Structure 1
Amino acid sequence: MKISVNPFNGKKIYEFKELNSNNLQSRVKLADETFNSWRKTTFEERSRLMNNAAKELKNNKERYGAIITNEMGKPLSQAIVEIEKCAWVCEYYAANAAEQLKEEPIETDADLSYVRYEPIGVVLAVMPWNYPFWQVFRFAAPNLMAGNVGVLKHASNVMMSAQMIQEVFENAGFPKGCFQNLIIGSEKIEVLLENELIRAVTLTGSKPAGSSVASTAGQHIKKSVLELGGNNALVVFEDADIEKTLEVCVKARFQNTGQSCIAGKRLLLQQSIAKEFVQKYKDKVEALTCGNPLDKDTYIGVMAREDLAEELEKQVSDSVKMGARVLLGGKREGCFFEPTILTKVDEAMPVFKEETFGPVIGITTFENEVDAVNLVNNSEFGLGVSIFTVDRKRVNRLIPQFYEGAVFVNELVKSDPRLPFGGVKTSGYGRELSSHGIRELVNKKTVYITYE
């Protein structure tokens, strides 16, 4: 049985019966049967249905947003924005998929040679709770437009969100079996990957989860795409526009109550401006409204589960024992964790080395560009980095030096349907979104024709 518990009040809100083995196999078989017809549909038909999905999301954004808030604690205003972003990715691929997947001519010795981009079949998506709609839609929109079909293993605490996503596609007119939510536990993922009808898997989640799924997929020679954790740095140089940088750095760390793989988790300040910046940053974080995530003015709600808040509490406590100083916050009550700022953070501390998945940021200072680059790259993760400077020459010097999947200048790291998204090192491999994402899980078929 899968149970959703409202993290704000601790009340059980939804309960779902898990699929047994027979029902699970029937769902996969239905997906495969649907694929055999869905792959033959035109891009025009797929676009029509995908635009319908966008309309469905927009027309019900308050309803879906409230479900997100009740299941995992995201402030309602941010949950509604998440739904709107899902509509955007649907519209983006409805408009662009045909062009992104058109045949690509290549000049060779043949009379005609080209690459065809063809769907591969049933794709399994293993998705997390922190963006329960967006993480799924950024997989589903490109893959359905490519002619694949999807089966979803969502996080156990957001099963109503998962059901609603299936509802969106069904209400939009997609054939039954194009997208199915599977109410199962993590122990069934291996069973699914062993099924020959599952052709590939994409996972967004933790390093251990990604390692396990990739290992099983590899044993069965199935492609995997992994978007794992991040420990993004926010690097502020002395010439940065301080007021604009403050706004971005607060949002980068504390939106979604800090529960994001691409959140700015390490604040690196050039020594010459550190004192001024820290005081102003503290003032802005203190001004954030904490409270009931259903209230429209709430910016910091609760964390999704109490065990996650306890883990964050330990990271903070251990760092303080090693010499970090609590400038703001630091206390936990149930699933609520105060917005927290730690100063005097060094590279050995958990809040620097580990991914902190909640409203906590550690501050470290640096002297020069070399120090800044070394601090950024001193991480097992490589999802993204933000640098703040008005010096264009510095920007051009630094971009090649960061071992990251993305570099954002004077902006927080964020996903955008028009740009590829993904990381390096233990942040994963493969790309989602843009033309790069839609081509990840297709057959790039070489065609070579000669008539003599």
Structure 2
Amino acid sequence: MTTVTTINPADGSVLAGYDAMGPAEIEQALAAGADAAAAWGQVPVTERADLLARLAVHLRADAERYAALVTSEMGKPLAQSRGEVEKSAVTADYYASQAPSILAARHVEIDSPAGVSAFVSPEPLGLVLAVMPWNFPVWQVMRFAIPTLAAGNGVLLKHSPNVTGSALALADAFVAAGFPTGLFTTLVVAEEDVPATVGQLIEDDRIAAVTLTGSNRAGEMVGAAAGRASKRSVLELGGSDAFVVLADADVPAAAAAAVGTRFTNSGQSCVCAKRFIVEAPIAEEFTRLFLEGVRALVVGDPTDPATTVGPLARADLREALQRQVDLSVAAGATLAAGGRSVDGAGYFYAPTVLLDAAPGMPAFDEETFGPVAAVAVAVDEDDAVRLANATQYGLGLSVWSRSTERAVAVARRITSGAAFVNAVVASDPRVPFGGTKRSGYGRELAEAGILEFTNQRTYWVSS
């Protein structure tokens, strides 16, 4: 039997080993999940909402245990792990209050023919397969699972192997909150078996839809398989978000926000800013303040409250990041800070700033999944728009200006799934979240997120 082993990225030690599921166990989970989803879809939405409220209470009551598990498995500072759990609880509360109204049948006025009434009812699809990443082990799952369950569906989770403990803990959390057994199930799949297993699950008639948050390569596989099976899919893929600082911006505020957004989660976030595009008149001031903030970051033990940047989640991620930095410097970028691994145990990488970034460099063109920032200078507003759009991605965008009207006008010229003005990009349960271009399609959160995995069923009633 294959064992899935989790490693502490802060020191390289083995945390735990888990027996990978074989075909018979996966079939059992699939069958149980399909049955549970069918029954759950008939439960009144008010009762589903009550369980979501109980889930929020449970998450807050056990937050320290969940946070410690996340930090041990993927290395983010403990305060950020607590933030994941709390954000999940907030989302559960949001849907507990909003799901009944969002999912209410919508009546349509029919003037002719006489005696006809019509309404549209959002109804569940069934069992939804979720393929989730390691960088936000709790939040990435919960931002999909909570609205999906609220809509009356079931969840079959295939999480990243390096956060298997967190994945199993989430399944237990739903049971502890009172959700039916089998409605949310975590599959433990050996890494080498993931492509075949996911493909087979998508083809199975008991899987109604699929969602993935992850790499473009994984998204291409899942999207193609879902298309062949004519099944609904949502893909949240890579990002190389632009952080545009216009000449009339509050530069100290923008620089401080830039440090926070780029280096949270050790830079391992699809939606954090990666390309900092600054208009020439304020480029020198922004760069100085940005570098001051980066040099003040504390790299170290993620369980230490003083730490602001923990390790990368795996050794191979650090190696890939180093290649991107080296190739960017070779292509003309200027290394202003960091640019190397931190000596000692664990997968630490020094917070890095590359100046003179431009299209054609990996740090500008690719998604850098680690604590590396690329700064580019734009000659004017039009050039800033050109540089921001010079990417295959389109997830988030942040624009800084003392004139919100100007900032919104600039944002409208740049393609992205979300645009934030004088604020950093972040998901929030009250507004939709998702990408454009090669950052994916479909939406999570808010009304759009709960309706993604529903059948907008028309009822036409003639008396």
Calculate the TM-score normalised by the size of structure 1: 0.98
Residue 165 of structure 1: aligned partner: 170
How do 1:99-248 residues align onto structure 2 when only pairs under 5 Å count?
Answer: 99-108=101-110, 109=112, 111-185=116-190, 186-187=194-195, 188-248=197-257
Cα distance per residue 1:276-331 (max 9 Å; x no partner): 11111111111111110111121101000010011000000001111111101111
State whether residues 340 and 349 of structure 2, in contact with CA within 8 Å, keep that contact through their aligned partners in structure 1.
yes
CA–CA distance in structure 1, aligned partners of residues 289 and 426 of structure 2 = 24
AA matched with 2:415: Y
Residue 455 of structure 2: aligned partner: 443
Residue 25 of structure 1: aligned partner: 27
Cα distance per residue 1:168-220 (max 9 Å; x no partner): 10100111011000111413101111211000000000001000011111111
AA matched with 2:59: L
AA matched with 1:122: L
Q: Which runs of 5+ in 2 are unaligned?
A: none
Secondary structure (helix, strand or coil) at the match of 1:401 reads: coil
CA–CA distance in structure 1, aligned partners of residues 55 and 256 of structure 2 = 33
Cα distance per residue 1:348-391 (max 9 Å; x no partner): 11100000000000110002111111111110000011000011
Secondary structure (helix, strand or coil) at the match of 1:275 reads: helix
Residue 374 of structure 1: aligned partner: 386
AA matched with 1:236: V
CA–CA distance in structure 2, aligned partners of residues 253 and 397 of structure 1 = 24
Whether 2:346 is the aligned partner of 1:344: answer: no
CA–CA distance in structure 2, aligned partners of residues 434 and 233 of structure 1 = 24
CA–CA distance in structure 2, aligned partners of residues 138 and 397 of structure 1 = 30
Residue 253 of structure 1: aligned partner: 262
CA–CA distance in structure 2, aligned partners of residues 400 and 250 of structure 1 = 25
CA–CA distance in structure 2, aligned partners of residues 10 and 84 of structure 1 = 28
CA–CA distance in structure 1, aligned partners of residues 220 and 93 of structure 2 = 33
State whether residues 37 and 154 of structure 2, in contact with CA within 8 Å, keep that contact through their aligned partners in structure 1.
yes
CA–CA distance in structure 1, aligned partners of residues 407 and 154 of structure 2 = 41
CA–CA distance in structure 2, aligned partners of residues 397 and 45 of structure 1 = 44
AA matched with 2:13: K
Residue 305 of structure 2: aligned partner: 296
Calculate the TM-score normalised by the size of structure 2: 0.96
Residue 431 of structure 1: aligned partner: 443
AA matched with 1:227: E
How do 1:303-318 residues align onto structure 2 when only pairs under 5 Å count?
Answer: 303-318=312-327
Residue 288 of structure 2: aligned partner: 279
CA–CA distance in structure 2, aligned partners of residues 415 and 441 of structure 1 = 19
Secondary structure (helix, strand or coil) at the match of 1:332 reads: coil
1:400 to 407, 412, 416: 412
How far 1:396 moved relative to its partner? 3.6
How far 1:42 moved relative to its partner? 1.4
Question: Which range moves more in the overlay, 36-45 or 165-174?
Answer: 36-45
Residue 64 of structure 2: aligned partner: 62
Secondary structure (helix, strand or coil) at the match of 2:233 reads: strand
Aligned length: 451
Seq. identity, %: 42
Secondary structure (helix, strand or coil) at the match of 2:287 reads: helix
CA–CA distance in structure 2, aligned partners of residues 132 and 36 of structure 1 = 27
CA–CA distance in structure 2, aligned partners of residues 223 and 43 of structure 1 = 22
> RMSD over aligned Cα, in angstroms?
1.0
CA–CA distance in structure 2, aligned partners of residues 184 and 396 of structure 1 = 45
State whether residues 397 and 411 of structure 2, in contact with CA within 8 Å, keep that contact through their aligned partners in structure 1.
no
How do 1:2-17 residues align onto structure 2 when only pairs under 5 Å count?
Answer: 2-17=4-19
State whether residues 245 and 399 of structure 2, in contact with CA within 8 Å, keep that contact through their aligned partners in structure 1.
yes
Secondary structure (helix, strand or coil) at the match of 2:288 reads: helix
Whether 2:415 is the aligned partner of 1:413: answer: no
Cα distance per residue 1:320-350 (max 9 Å; x no partner): 1111111011111451110000111111111
State whether residues 4 and 19 of structure 2, in contact with CA within 8 Å, keep that contact through their aligned partners in structure 1.
yes
Secondary structure (helix, strand or coil) at the match of 2:310 reads: coil
Residue 362 of structure 1: aligned partner: 374
State whether residues 252 and 286 of structure 2, in contact with CA within 8 Å, keep that contact through their aligned partners in structure 1.
no
Task: Say if 1:394 and 1:169 are closer, same or farther in 2 by CA, change over 3 A.
Answer: same
Question: Which range moves more in the overlay, 210-219 or 237-246?
Answer: 237-246
Whether 2:273 is the aligned partner of 1:264: answer: yes
CA–CA distance in structure 2, aligned partners of residues 220 and 242 of structure 1 = 50
Task: Say if 1:229 and 1:283 are closer, same or farther in 2 by CA, change over 3 A.
Answer: same
Secondary structure (helix, strand or coil) at the match of 2:420 reads: strand
How far 1:44 moved relative to its partner? 2.0
How far 1:399 moved relative to its partner? 2.8
How far 1:392 moved relative to its partner? 3.0
AA matched with 2:42: K
Secondary structure (helix, strand or coil) at the match of 1:346 reads: coil
How far 1:73 moved relative to its partner? 0.5
Secondary structure (helix, strand or coil) at the match of 1:176 reads: coil
State whether residues 404 and 421 of structure 2, in contact with CA within 8 Å, keep that contact through their aligned partners in structure 1.
no
CA–CA distance in structure 2, aligned partners of residues 229 and 198 of structure 1 = 25
How far 1:48 moved relative to its partner? 1.5
AA matched with 2:228: Q
Whether 2:44 is the aligned partner of 1:42: answer: yes
CA–CA distance in structure 2, aligned partners of residues 103 and 44 of structure 1 = 14
CA–CA distance in structure 1, aligned partners of residues 352 and 98 of structure 2 = 42
AA matched with 1:42: P
CA–CA distance in structure 2, aligned partners of residues 9 and 341 of structure 1 = 25
